[in-house]
Amino acid sequence: MGAGALDEPPDGLIGGYTGGSVTVRMLMIVFSSIALYNALELIILLFLTFQSYSGLYFWTMFISTVFGVIPHSVGYILEFFALAPLWLSLVISTIGFYAMVPGQSVVLYSRLHLVVQSRRVLRFVMWLIIIDSILLLVPTTVLTFSTAFVRTIPYIRGYNVMERLQLAWFCAQEFVISGVYIVETVRLLRLMPNKDHRRTKIMYELLTINAVIILLDVALLLVEYIGYYSLQTTLKPLVYSIKLKLEFAVLGKLVSLVQTQRSQPTSLEDEYPNFVDPSQITTDVTHAAPMEHGHDRSRRSRPWNVISMESLPSSEQRIRPSTKSRRSSDAENHA
């Protein structure tokens, strides 16, 4: 893109969309409508799927949907069609961007532990999300409002560069996280016995879903760098709403991997795949069922970023015979 284009504000950022293309206008409405529909469906799915409404995974999904996809879609529709004051449209869309884009990365992070046991990798991803959000969100917000209300060439040029940079950077960040999933999934596939066709199938499904997520980000980048700002900003919530819906499929597949089979286990080690840390799947990301009186206090010290089997829908849960029940059964057999 030439320097002249960088010196001009994106079409639609100031005074609404002024392009004469009816097709672009229709696509903006279609993209935003589908994104809002997906968001409403996600909200319903969230409250029907989870038995308890707490934990990192649940709340990042909820915030990314309610305070991310919805306001981002509404804000840009108000802005492009001049249906509200510019400052109000920008505030709504900015809030949506804050919750939607970094929120998607946090959702990815919140289930990363299910295939990655390295604390170093988990900490790296966590700090990557935090640092990138600070470095990208603050200057982009300042340049957005400066371009809209100050409208000088340096601010406009800075916004055009920063807007492209932050989109590419956040996409690269999600590539990294999805790449970690793919690498770890391939590694686990090599560790699994060939006869375990069920887990192998689940692993390949996980690879496919993460590949689709990457392709969606690539499509978003292409639209941005071709120069269709208005389409990119309305396509973005649609892409992120689809990625959030794919999270339900990913979570279900990951839970299937770490669930114990209904067959009789012979020992605690036999209840889990050899690549899964059992202590990681009884802790809280979607919030465990209410703790009964008299339970061991050590359960309260669970890590905050892992998934609880009790919080999942009954269709996803597999009852795992406890050590206590096995001991009671053994005692009866001996008797």
Q: What is the pLDDT of residues 19-42, one digit of tens each?
A: 778 888 899 999 999 999 999 999
Q: Which residues of the chain, if any, have pLDDT below 50?
A: 1-4, 260-328, 335
Residue 298 has what pLDDT?
Answer: 42
> Tell me: domain 3-258, CATH 1.20.1070, correct?
yes
Characterize 32-71 residue by residue with b for buried, 16 or more Cβ atoms within 10 angstroms of its Cβ, and e for exposed: bebbbebbeebbeebeebbbbeebbbbbbbbbbbbbbbbb
Residue 248 has what pLDDT?
Answer: 74
Domain boundaries in the chain?
3-258
Residues 6+ apart with CB under 8 A from 189: 200, 203, 204
Is 170:101 a contact under the CB 8 Å cutoff? yes
Packed helices 119-149 and 153-191: angle between N→C axes, nearest 10 degrees: 160
Q: What is the pLDDT of residues 205-247, one digit of tens each?
A: 777 887 888 888 888 888 888 878 888 899 999 999 998 888 7
Residue 110 has what pLDDT?
Answer: 85
Residue 311 has what pLDDT?
Answer: 40
Residue 267 has what pLDDT?
Answer: 39
Amino acid at 3: A
Measure the CA–CA gap between 72 and 65, rounded to whole angstroms: 10
Residue 271 has what pLDDT?
Answer: 38
The DSSP letter of residue 2 is -
Residue 282, helix vs strand vs coil: strand
